[in-house]
Amino acid sequence: MSDVRYELYGLMAGNPYTTRPLNSLEQELDRSLLLELEGFVRLPKLQEAIEAAVTRRGPALFLITGVGMSGRTSLANHLLYLYHQAHGPQHRLATHRMDGYDMTHDAYAQVRSTLLSLRNKMGLMTIEMPPGLRGRFSELSRRGSVDPMDEYDLQEIAEFLAATFAASDAAFGVVYEGVATKDLITLSTRVFENTPAVVVFTVDAYQHANAAQLTEADRSDFARRGTIIDLPLLTTRQIACLAEQRWTGTPPVPFDPDDLQAVFDSRRFTIGQALRHLEVLLDLRLVEYEGEDLWPTDDLRMSSRWLRIKMWQGERWSRLR
């Protein structure tokens, strides 16, 4: 249905539960959409970790784990934003992102590509490259996986690179999404361990060949150097908070908190899945409504019975796919 009348709810910007990755670094509105949801994420703790790293001029390392649609990308973007803010609004931040479809099991190739990408970002930001760093990058360009550079040579390049950025009131951040092998985490941590930069790894919380399989020893080792963030499935209370805190229409929220908790009680969803359900339920309520009265009106309220019927129908239809 293309003609959903969101204005009946006072939603001038459309459905507030639309699911998409948030990007606090580029979209100002997105900064208010990243929610703590009673412990789902602890934003003050993350900001403290970022500010501490900036103060000591060291790395800000983060490892985010979770299943698909758990908010890993949105949180990674927000960490870049917090790092940029910690330096001040006039400070420039270059970013390099490697998505899941770019991931291989060749950790050296990934780190080499990262450093060469940041070299190119220097040119785009009109940061002059010192002759010594230019020479090191020329060597790195020649040294592929068949003849790799030592990890400490890579570390030297990363530190030299960061110092060059800092001299021009700039810094850089790196995001590795959907890390395929823990070797990338190990190597990157070593390469950037003395570098003032933010480096974020996201890992699928699945047991399959294309996801890094982290042991408790791996996690403990990373925790000594950085911050681990596990994104769980939402509780029913957190889903109710999500419905309320994302609402941008005329108050009150048409979802009754107790009814939502009762309907979602036997189900566990990621934040992305919960948003998708709320988005569809809101659209269905508007499509079925034939009146003209604006919210609040009982005919636009989503009762417990109505919610249960729609959730049941959705589950039945999904079995036909």
Count of other CB atoms within 10 angstroms of residue 12: 9
Q: What is residue 96's three-state secondary structure? A: strand
- Radius of gyration, alpha carbons of the chain: 23
Supply the pLDDT for residue 248: 96
Please give the structure tokens belonging to residue 100: 């899941």
Supply the pLDDT for residue 320: 64
Q: State the Cα angle at 318 between 314 and 321, rounded to 5°.
A: 150
Number of C-alpha atoms within 13 angstroms, CB side, residue 283? 15
CA distance 288 to 249: 19
Residue type, 230: D
- Which residue shows structure tokens 């330096």? 87
pTM: 0.94
Residue type, 118: L
Backbone angles phi, psi at 254, to 5 degrees: -70, -15
Supply the pLDDT for residue 321: 56
Supply the pLDDT for residue 278: 97
Residues of the chain under the 70 pLDDT cut: 1-2, 207-210, 320-321
Distances in Å between the alpha carbon of 316 and those of 256, 270, 299, 310, 311?
24, 20, 25, 10, 9
Please answer whether residues 223 and 199 qualify as being in contact, where contact means their C-beta atoms are separated by less than 8 angstroms: no
Supply the pLDDT for residue 208: 67
Please answer whether residues 243 and 15 qualify as being in contact, where contact means their C-beta atoms are separated by less than 8 angstroms: no
Supply the pLDDT for residue 209: 63
Backbone angles phi, psi at 208, to 5 degrees: -150, 170
CA distance 82 to 236: 29
How buried is residue 286: exposed, middle or buried, by Cβ count under 10 Å (0-12/13-18/19+)? Answer: buried
